[in-house]
Amino acid sequence: MSLLPLAGMFIFGGKKKSGEEKETAVPKSLRDKVITVVMDHGKGLYYLLSRATPEQDVAKIAKILDHNPQIGQPNATQWSEYKKIR
């Protein structure tokens, strides 16, 4: 067996480990909850927002945030930089 794959495993394995060590600085349980807030908002947010408008019309909020019925979430926030948190 060539030593090349072994060397590759060592190099990449070593890099991955340092990344994992960094990740432990923030508990996974906390990160998971942050991800829920950032990635899974939708209808609940619309209702909250609609209560903050004069007409309290949730359909208007869905229009402003460009609700996507297929994913049940607003298109307006789908491609924001802050969603690249996984």
**Residues 52 and 59 sit within 8 Å (Cβ to Cβ):** no
Q: Is 15 in the site for other proteins (CB under 8 A)?
A: no
Q: Is 75 in the site for other proteins (CB under 8 A)?
A: yes
Minimum distance of other proteins from residue 68's CB (angstroms): 10
The b/e string for 35-47 (b: 16+ C-beta within 10 A; e otherwise) is eeeeeeebeebbe
Q: Footprint of other proteins on this chain (CB under 8 A)?
A: 22-23, 25-26, 29-31, 33-34, 36-38, 40-45, 47-54, 56-67, 69, 71-77, 80-85
